[in-house]
Chains A and B, each alone.
Chain A
Amino acid sequence: MSQEIVQVKNLNLAYKNLHAVQNVSFSVKSGEIVAVIGQNGSGKTSSVECIEGLRKPSGGSVSVFGKDPWTCRSEVYKEMGIQLQEAEYPSKIRVEELCRLFASFYERPADWNLLLTQMGLDEKRKRPICKLSGGEKQRLSIILSLMGRPKLLVLDELTTGLDPEVRQNMWVSFENIRKGGTAIIMVSHYLDEVEALADRILYLEKGKQLFFGTQKEFREYVKNRVPQESFSENVSLEKLYLMIAPKTTGLTMEGIL
């Protein structure tokens, strides 16, 4: 039976007057992929940053491998790989130097030469980071998150900036990583990706947890919340999500002309 490696109970996070995360509870088992979805500003990144130990929760508890990630950060990071939504590297560092640097952080680092080849970055190893394209930086960032052979991988918008072919390859890669027993928490706006990979979904809106469960349960959740005539069983996860997501209006010509 899979072991629960992440447990989040009644997580709360406040920034001054903004209550960014309110009473969020979920868990992640080893070998499981949990997707965190929701609109911009719904508290997805804030929630995962509490799991990563980068933010101290205002309330509730977070346990990763049985430890508090805020107080036992360096312990937890030995088994957790992280890809941040927005973080840069020193611009003049070269790809292989950055890989070597990150490899030195871990006792048993991954074979980064092989990862560079698999990610199509082998020819770019001498190139400074500032000369890489957005997609190349993203692929390098994923390599660095795998450097410690993690048992838990937290990926915040992992495929943003990647072209469709590389995205598809990423899905296969993460499926393989999961088969090796690594749990993955992925924050994503791409619901095709979530549909292809996620075992369970955490749906947040305005910092509140609206749903946590399997994809099948999510369909039931949506079905119970939309008028019967507008619901259809065989639609994609993206269409399902759009049925219940808060509506925003697009630009009108009135505002432009």
Chain B
Amino acid sequence: MKRFAVILKTEMLLFLRDFFGFFFTLVFPVMMLLLFGGIYGNEPVYDGADMGMMDISVPAYSVMIMGVTGLMALPLTLSGYKEKKIYKRFDATPVGKKSIITAQVFVNLIMTLIGISILLIVGMLVYHIQIKGDIFGVFTGILFSAAAMFSMGFLFTAVGRDLKSTSVLCYPFYFVMMFLSGATMPDMLFPDTIKKISDLLPMTYAVDLMQGIFSGDSLSLHGKELIILGSLTAVFTVTGTFLYKNKDWT
């Protein structure tokens, strides 16, 4: 346990030293919140609506954070470690690469939660955002959404032969999903054609789930999202694990 704590602390430091991970997980979402909050304020999304623009933006930006850690930071770190034979070096010690990979998943999960917490605190302090959902629902929403994003990133690493090919998978998927899922801009603004594409993206279901739960919906109202995200997690994880086992780590 003490050994894992040292690995976790070291990986945490490395995450914070990486500009991309640090900025896009902890800083950029808050910048987005302040920028769009400055433009729209937390006015009702439509006349008579009880949720404001920032009330629905915060859960969407939370999914954006999960996308950064799950689809970019984690897979690119895993792939980079493999390509530089860093895992091979750790494999030649009593702890092996599994402890390092597990620590990296934990670090990204912790940073996701910290990023979401900062976003919520800033949202509450500056725009008085409302979180109508209960804590269990919010955590379940975060868990299902993060699991889908992380498992997708894991699959990309397992499919990609090296850092370059993993990046080729991660970057387009991340940016397409970030802009077309409703994570950065409300999907109510999308024309029908874009909405059809949006319906094919896993992140769309994470955004719908998080926005619904934050606005006070019970989990039972979001069975479709939970089933889709849960199924994708299972498929991505099983396929990724199978491909990983057959990878040449030397």
A49 contacts across to B, CB distance below 8 A: 250
B161 contacts across to A, CB distance below 8 A: none
The answer to whether B85 touches A52, judged by C-beta atoms less than 8 angstroms apart, is no
A105 to B97, CA, bound (A): 12
The answer to whether A101 touches B96, judged by C-beta atoms less than 8 angstroms apart, is no
The answer to whether A52 touches B86, judged by C-beta atoms less than 8 angstroms apart, is no
Within 8 A of B (CB), among A130-179: 148
Encode contact with A along B1-44: 1 for CB under 8 Å, 0 otherwise: 01100110010011001100000000000000000000000000
The answer to whether A97 touches B13, judged by C-beta atoms less than 8 angstroms apart, is yes
Encode contact with A along B207-223: 1 for CB under 8 Å, 0 otherwise: 00000000000000000
The answer to whether B94 touches A74, judged by C-beta atoms less than 8 angstroms apart, is yes
B89 contacts across to A, CB distance below 8 A: 84, 87-89
B114 within 8 A of A: no
The answer to whether B14 touches A90, judged by C-beta atoms less than 8 angstroms apart, is yes
Within 8 A of A (CB), among B79-96: 81, 84-86, 88-89, 91-96
The answer to whether B93 touches A90, judged by C-beta atoms less than 8 angstroms apart, is no
* Shortest CB distance B107–A (Å): 12
The answer to whether A100 touches B6, judged by C-beta atoms less than 8 angstroms apart, is yes
Chain B: interface residue total (CB-CB under 8 A) = 22
Nearest chain-B residue to A104 (Cβ)?
B6
A92 contacts across to B, CB distance below 8 A: 14, 17-18
A90 contacts across to B, CB distance below 8 A: 14, 81, 86
In this complex, the member of A52, A89, A104 whose beta carbon has the largest number of chain B beta carbons within 10 angstroms is: A104
* Shortest CB distance A137–B (Å): 12
The answer to whether B94 touches A101, judged by C-beta atoms less than 8 angstroms apart, is no
The answer to whether B88 touches A97, judged by C-beta atoms less than 8 angstroms apart, is no
A3 to B123, CA, bound (A): 68
A78 contacts across to B, CB distance below 8 A: 94
A62 within 8 A of B: no
Interface contacts (Cβ under 8 Å), in number, total 63
The answer to whether B250 touches A89, judged by C-beta atoms less than 8 angstroms apart, is no
The answer to whether B7 touches A104, judged by C-beta atoms less than 8 angstroms apart, is yes
The answer to whether B93 touches A77, judged by C-beta atoms less than 8 angstroms apart, is yes
B18 contacts across to A, CB distance below 8 A: 92
Nearest chain-A residue to B10 (Cβ)?
A101
Nearest chain-B residue to A92 (Cβ)?
B17
Instruction: Select one of A86, A88, A106 contacting B94, CB under 8 A.
Output: A106
In this complex, the member of B84, B92, B95 whose beta carbon has the largest number of chain A beta carbons within 10 angstroms is: B92
Encode contact with B along A70-83: 1 for CB under 8 Å, 0 otherwise: 00011001100010
B85 contacts across to A, CB distance below 8 A: 84, 86-88
Instruction: Select one of B10, B14, B17, B92 contacting A52, CB under 8 A.
Output: B92
* Shortest CB distance A146–B (Å): 12
The answer to whether B92 touches A84, judged by C-beta atoms less than 8 angstroms apart, is yes
Known: A87-B86, A88-B86, A104-B3. A93 touches B94 (CB 8 A): no
The answer to whether A88 touches B84, judged by C-beta atoms less than 8 angstroms apart, is yes
A169 to B235, CA, bound (A): 55
A54 to B86, CA, bound (A): 13
* Shortest CB distance A53–B (Å): 8
A65 within 8 A of B: no
Instruction: Select one of A54, A97, A105 contacting B95, CB under 8 A.
Output: A105
A52 contacts across to B, CB distance below 8 A: 92
The answer to whether A77 touches B94, judged by C-beta atoms less than 8 angstroms apart, is yes
A77 to B94, CA, bound (A): 5
* Shortest CB distance B3–A (Å): 5
* Shortest CB distance B13–A (Å): 7
A55 within 8 A of B: yes
Encode contact with A along B94-112: 1 for CB under 8 Å, 0 otherwise: 1110000000000000000
The answer to whether B14 touches A105, judged by C-beta atoms less than 8 angstroms apart, is no
* Shortest CB distance B14–A (Å): 5
The answer to whether B92 touches A105, judged by C-beta atoms less than 8 angstroms apart, is no
Q: With contacts A87-B89, A90-B81 known, what are 13 further pairs, Cβ within 8 A?
A: A49-B250, A73-B91, A74-B95, A78-B94, A82-B92, A84-B85, A86-B85, A87-B84, A89-B86, A90-B86, A93-B13, A100-B10, A101-B10
26 of the cross-chain contacts (CB-CB < 8 Å) are: A49-B250, A52-B92, A54-B88, A54-B91, A54-B250, A77-B92, A77-B93, A82-B92, A82-B93, A84-B85, A84-B88, A84-B89, A84-B92, A86-B85, A88-B86, A89-B86, A90-B81, A92-B18, A93-B13, A100-B6, A102-B93, A104-B2, A104-B6, A105-B93, A105-B94, A148-B94
